[in-house]
Amino acid sequence: MLSDHPDVTVTKLVAGKVTFVHRSLWSNLIAVGRARDEWQTRQLSTPATLLLRKLDQEGSLITGKLGKEFGEKTGDAARELELKLLIHSEQFHTESGFHARLLETWDHWATRLKVRNKPIEPSKARDF
């Protein structure tokens, strides 16, 4: 129920564990996600790099609609980007009952949810 609350988003932060983030911290989360610091981009796999480029072009993608252009398991590339906070990801059930994930750039996610994002330096956002 908590993950469905409009003032909460779910992401993976500490040790890749699911973390519930309140709206009051979304600006911090977005600032870190947009930063593309070296720790985020270092050693990205080729499929993850390709998926990130595609997301930058499209804004959002649904995993169930992607082919094998990002490797055998698109989910692995998506998880890699999610764990480095390079994208926002959320699971949902398709009309046919399958699990899928909506992958979004932080800008797309913020626009979709009408987040009033106050500019914040990524280094200060990480310290919060």
**pTM of the full predicted structure?**
0.87
The predicted pLDDT at position 43 comes to 93
31-40 average pLDDT score? 94
User: What is the rounded distance in angstroms from the CA atom of residue 24 to the CA atom of residue 108?
Assistant: 18
Number of alpha helices (DSSP H) and beta strands (DSSP E) in the chain: 6, 5
Rg (CA), the chain: 14
Helix (H, G, I), strand (E, B) or coil at 64: helix
Q: Per-residue pLDDT for 80 more than 70?
A: yes
Top pLDDT among 56 and 67 is at 56
Residue 47, Ramachandran bin (φ over 0: left; ψ between -120 and 50: alpha; else beta): alpha
12-36 average pLDDT score? 91
Residue 56 main-chain phi, psi, to 5 deg: -60, -35
Q: How confident is the model at residue 86 (pLDDT cuts 50, 70, 90)?
A: very high
Quote the mean pLDDT of the chain: 88
How many whole angstroms from its chain centre is CA 70? 16
